[in-house]
Amino acid sequence: MKKIEIAQFGGSETLQLVDAPTPTPTGSQILVKVAAAGVNFVDIYQRNGNPVYGMTVPYTPGMEGAGVVEAVGSDVTAFKAGDRVAWTWALGSYAEYAIVEAAKAVIVPQGLELEEVAAFMLQGITGHYLVNSTFEIKPGDIALVHAAAGGTGSLLAQLILLKGGVVIGTTSSDAKEANVRALGVQHVIRYDKENFLDEVKKITNGRGVDVVYDGVGAKTFDQSLLCLRPRGMMVLFGAASGPVPPFEIMRLNSSGSLFLTRPTLAHYVADADEFKGRCNAIFELLLSGKISVRIDKRYELGDAKAAHDDLASGTTSGKLILIP
């Protein structure tokens, strides 16, 4: 089979297409013929050797995907050959065949395409826990969503609107602005030509927002804190522009007794039941047409380098997927 392998940490040139034997599932594992694998910023952080992720080389990247079960290990009872499944937070998805722990996989309902589901798993579940558990959106809550045209940002915006919240979305081009407005977002800030802090204050009549969902990191963090109302919450769930440097914790006090959290998906899918519950909730929204997933580009497996470069450039709008 073909797979992508990273033999040393570094830039996108480390993503190499190699031949490898098709693995055999054992115990609680399933072997899946991959239909599509999602491309995410976490793949780039891991590739760069960020010590937070504890990666060792060589390894095959890719934390999410969807496909058809080829074989199952001796302890697996929930899946069988031929089942359509999807998974997330399971390394090794950039390949023609992937080994996935059964506890990290879920059956894909009829009516959903595998490419669509592969494009949504990480962002969809992330969006679900961010608006239901990290900061539970209530009707009338105002949320600032950075990079609202991106994979996670666009799903966040849709989920917040479904819960009766108000979205202020930031983005950086005419095309991206059109995509964000098509989701139903009325307040769009073009940070390529506007100061988002000034615009947030205008939109909220000086009050500030209840919550900021920030996956950008270093470039937006300082001003995002200033966008919050007193006792508002800063949800820093990513670092596309780089990690936030250490800062003086008293800033939270002086800015209005603010809350700050740095969540990660693994802690919000703590067991198989929680994982499947979040998956099924999002699947129902997809099936009902209440939310949608926009696939911006599809790449062949051997073009993983181009996919990483495009994602890192900040020019994409929607999800990038690899097709083995």
Element (H, E) at 161: helix 151-162
Per-residue pLDDT band for 319 (boundaries 50, 70, 90) equals very high
What is the per-residue pLDDT for 230? 98
DSSP-derived secondary structure for 177-217: HHHHHHTT--EEEETTTS-HHHHHHHHTTTS-EEEEEESS-
Q: What is the pLDDT of residues 235-245, one digit of tens each?
A: 999 888 888 99
DSSP-derived secondary structure for 19-36: E-PPP---TTEEEEEEEE
What is the per-residue pLDDT for 47? 98
Q: Which of 66, 88, 92, 73 is nearest to 31 (CA)?
A: 73
Q: What is the mean pLDDT of residues 45-68?
A: 95
Per-residue pLDDT band for 184 (boundaries 50, 70, 90) equals very high
Residue 315 has pLDDT above 90, yes or no: no
Question: What letter does residue 226 receive in the DSSP assignment?
Answer: H
Element (H, E) at 128: helix 121-129
How far, CA to CA in Å, does 46 sit from each of 36, 41, 50, 98, 303? 20, 9, 6, 18, 18
Q: Pairing state of beta strands 84-88 and 64-72?
A: antiparallel
Q: Can you list the pairs that 263-267 forms with residues at least 24 positions away whose Cβ atoms lie under 8 Å?
A: 263/129, 263/130, 263/134, 263/235, 263/237, 264/237, 265/88, 265/89, 265/122, 265/125, 265/126, 265/129, 266/89
Distance CA 151, CA 318 (A): 5
**pTM for this prediction:** 0.90
Q: What is the mean pLDDT of the chain?
A: 96
Those residues whose C-beta lies under 8 Å from the C-beta of residue 151, and which sit 6 or more positions away, are 40, 119, 123, 318, 319, 320
Handedness of CA 133, 63, 97, 76 (dihedral sign): negative
Q: Which of 297, 289, 303, 301 is nearest to 318 (CA)?
A: 297
If one compares 40 and 52, the residue with the highest pLDDT of the two is: 40
Q: What is the pLDDT of residues 120-167, one digit of tens each?
A: 999 999 999 999 999 999 999 999 999 999 889 999 999 999 999 999
Q: What is the pLDDT of residues 73-131, one digit of tens each?
A: 999 999 999 999 999 999 999 999 999 999 999 999 999 999 999 999 999 999 999 99
Burial (CB count within 10 angstroms: exposed 0-12, middle 13-18, buried 19+), residue 166: buried
Element (H, E) at 171: strand 166-171
Distance CA 50, CA 57 (A): 12
Distance CA 166, CA 182 (A): 15
Number of H helices, E strands in the chain: 10, 15
In the chain the domains, ranked by start, together with CATH numbers, are 2-120+293-323 (3.90.180.10), 123-265 (3.40.50.720)
DSSP strands (E only) in 220-282 = 228-236, 259-261
Per-residue pLDDT band for 267 (boundaries 50, 70, 90) equals very high
Residue 318 has pLDDT above 90, yes or no: no
Q: What are phi and psi of 310, to 5 degrees?
A: -65, -45
What is the per-residue pLDDT for 317? 83
Q: Pairing state of beta strands 166-171 and 187-190?
A: parallel
What is the per-residue pLDDT for 314? 84
Tokens found for residue 84: 């359509």
Tokens found for residue 288: 């009902």
What is the per-residue pLDDT for 52? 84
